[in-house]
Structure 1
Amino acid sequence: MTQPQANQAQAELWNNQAGHNWVEQNAMLDRLFAPFEPLLADAVQGAKAVLDIGCGAGATTFAVARSLGAQGRCTGADISAPLIELARRKAAETGADNADFLVADAQQHAFPPAAFDAVISRFGVMFFDDPVAAFANLRRAARPDARLAMIAWRSAAENPFMTAAERAAAPLLPDLPPRDPAAPGQFAFADPERVSGILSAAGWRDVDLQPLDVACAMPAPALDIYAARMGPVGLVLPTLDEDRRRAVVEAARRGFEPFVADGAARFTAACWMVRGRG
């Protein structure tokens, strides 16, 4: 019997429905998460070669590349071919000569050794089957004393906006699997001791996690699309008949009502800023 490929479930997810959903809603998501871009750019000032893990369509890659100027370069890597294709189109359209992109599983991709003096990520490192192996691979790609700066979600309990749709729609979706905080996924890095242990075991030094709370907002009308496309609810909706799908979307949309005021949905993204040294 052949062994399953590393991160096979994530590769299938992000190269199919989830990846296409993020491509479709990329403009909205980029606006939503724009406040994180300067935080990562500031964290790697002075670097010359930066690797952006789980870069998606490249928003953080472009922001860091701009901040580094012509003397620096930022390489974005993501397991999702649809998202990397979009990032490459953006780079060509905007003339971003110091940003480039790879379709790559960071857990096992053969990055050039000791090629980067900084490694960053915005919500892109919580999905590895074997996170120690992944961060050891990234450590090999990093130069001695390279900086590590990553933003990851804290717990689901601290991020009620992120689970509002599935909680509201749960009575209509009894088979929706519960989130497993120990499995690869959005909240897999909620436990700071676990994250510190992963990074230390992978060879990173001076690991430090600090709480990071960031105010985010989107126009209230965008919630209809957000509820229907994002997260576990967005993945299950295409499998439902039209009437049930409509009922689920309406329930999910109601779940966001506590966050809406004055025409906008506002929430605090409860995250970690994770730092380390190679």
Structure 2
Amino acid sequence: MIETITQEQLWNGPAADAWLTMQSTLDQLFEPFETALVDAVKDQGARHVLDIGCGTGATTIAIGRAIAGRGHATGADLSVPMIELAGERARACGVDARFIAGDASRIAANTPFDMAVSRFGIMFFDDPVAAFEQIRAMLLPDAPLTAFAWRSPKENPFMTCAERTAAPMLPPLPPQQPDAPGQFAFAAADRVRTILADAGWSRVVLTPFDVECTMPVARLDAYLLHMGRVGIALNQLDDAPRTALLAQLRRAFAPFVDGDRVRFTAACWRIDARA
């Protein structure tokens, strides 16, 4: 069985390496979520925004650009190398965005935030109730939260295709527990409502958010070789079995290929709440 590693090891190791390598492709792929979060910040008139699990900084930078002159955005992420890249990107484009390496629920912030946002960064807390209690404490009373999280694996076949296809050709992957930290940890709406309510949040609303995501087909091999548990496993194989599995994965992903683009629907929750 492929060894299980902690979230801190994952996001400062193989997952960080993957996101750094694929940064521009992933920013393009998930741009609809970035746009939605920027619009939410504008609608709320927020001035001091916390971006939870900001990764390489795309959403933080976009929000910082949108509120330039009246506030600032702060991104927090467990991954040190991803935070370092985020800071470099912000400086390169002259955006007032700040970045802190560490668990977003444990960072030290001098200014209370008047909004929190997240693009797929809230599903990885070991103790989500405690984490959201701490995040709420960093916000002004009644400050809004807007976040995106994946719905069920069944509703996201693109995101599960690699593991389904590769399973017969790889050592057993550690079984995924529905409530454990991970991509689909917030798939169950009732669980998310309970977590936020137990953490003291109010007016919790989950709305289905389904959008088309797309990337160049020329980037598909790189995506398969780097992303997710299969990407990690592929890079542990010898050349011949890796080449064979990659060819099989290409065939499995053929239904998502449309000319020179890869297209799929991301089935997510938009989560809104008040501190």
TM above 0.5, one fold? yes
Instruction: Confirm whether residue 210 of structure 1 aligns to residue 211 of structure 2.
Output: no
Instruction: Confirm whether residue 258 of structure 1 aligns to residue 255 of structure 2.
Output: yes
Tell me, yes or no, if the aligned pair for 1:50 and 1:117 is still in contact at 8 Å.
yes
Task: Provide the residue aligned with 1:104 in structure 2.
Answer: 102
Task: Provide the residue aligned with 2:267 in structure 1.
Answer: 270
Kindly state the Cα deviation for residue 36 of structure 1 after the two structures are TM-superposed. Answer: 1.0
Residue type at the aligned position of 2:254: E
Kindly state the Cα deviation for residue 174 of structure 1 after the two structures are TM-superposed. Answer: 4.3
Give the secondary structure class of the aligned counterpart of 1:239.
coil
Task: Provide the residue aligned with 1:68 in structure 2.
Answer: 67
Task: Provide the residue aligned with 1:187 in structure 2.
Answer: 184
RMSD: 1.3
Give the secondary structure class of the aligned counterpart of 1:226.
helix
Residue type at the aligned position of 1:239: Q
Give the secondary structure class of the aligned counterpart of 2:268.
strand
Tell me, yes or no, if the aligned pair for 2:225 and 2:235 is still in contact at 8 Å.
no
Alignment of 1:156-171 (within 5 A): 156-171=153-168
Task: Provide the residue aligned with 1:80 in structure 2.
Answer: 79
Tell me, yes or no, if the aligned pair for 2:100 and 2:107 is still in contact at 8 Å.
no
Task: Provide the residue aligned with 2:142 in structure 1.
Answer: 145
Tell me, yes or no, if the aligned pair for 1:126 and 1:189 is still in contact at 8 Å.
yes
TM superposition score normalised by structure 2: 0.95
User: 1:204 and 1:64 mapped to 2: Cα distance?
Assistant: 23
Tell me, yes or no, if the aligned pair for 1:216 and 1:267 is still in contact at 8 Å.
yes
Instruction: Confirm whether residue 92 of structure 1 aligns to residue 86 of structure 2.
Output: no
User: 2:23 and 2:129 mapped to 1: Cα distance?
Assistant: 30
> Which shows bigger deviation, 244-253 or 268-277?
244-253
Tell me, yes or no, if the aligned pair for 1:107 and 1:130 is still in contact at 8 Å.
no
User: 1:93 and 1:102 mapped to 2: Cα distance?
Assistant: 17
User: 2:264 and 2:136 mapped to 1: Cα distance?
Assistant: 34
Tell me, yes or no, if the aligned pair for 1:165 and 1:251 is still in contact at 8 Å.
no
Tell me, yes or no, if the aligned pair for 2:151 and 2:188 is still in contact at 8 Å.
yes
Choose the corresponding residue for 1:20, options 12, 17, 21.
17
User: 1:168 and 1:238 mapped to 2: Cα distance?
Assistant: 16
User: 1:170 and 1:254 mapped to 2: Cα distance?
Assistant: 15
Choose the corresponding residue for 2:41, options 37, 40, 44.
44
TM superposition score normalised by structure 1: 0.94
Residue type at the aligned position of 2:274: R
Tell me, yes or no, if the aligned pair for 1:53 and 1:125 is still in contact at 8 Å.
yes
Kindly state the Cα deviation for residue 193 of structure 1 after the two structures are TM-superposed. Answer: 0.4
User: 2:245 and 2:69 mapped to 1: Cα distance?
Assistant: 48
Give ranges in structure 1 of 5+ residues lacking alignment. 1-7
Give ranges in structure 2 of 5+ residues lacking alignment. none
1:85-139 C-alpha deviation (Å, 9 max, x unpaired) = 100111111111x211000112333444x71000000000101110001000100
Task: Provide the residue aligned with 2:226 in structure 1.
Answer: 229
1:44-66 C-alpha deviation (Å, 9 max, x unpaired) = 22101000000001110011112
Tell me, yes or no, if the aligned pair for 1:208 and 1:274 is still in contact at 8 Å.
yes
How many pairs align? 269
Instruction: Confirm whether residue 54 of structure 1 aligns to residue 53 of structure 2.
Output: yes
Tell me, yes or no, if the aligned pair for 1:117 and 1:142 is still in contact at 8 Å.
yes
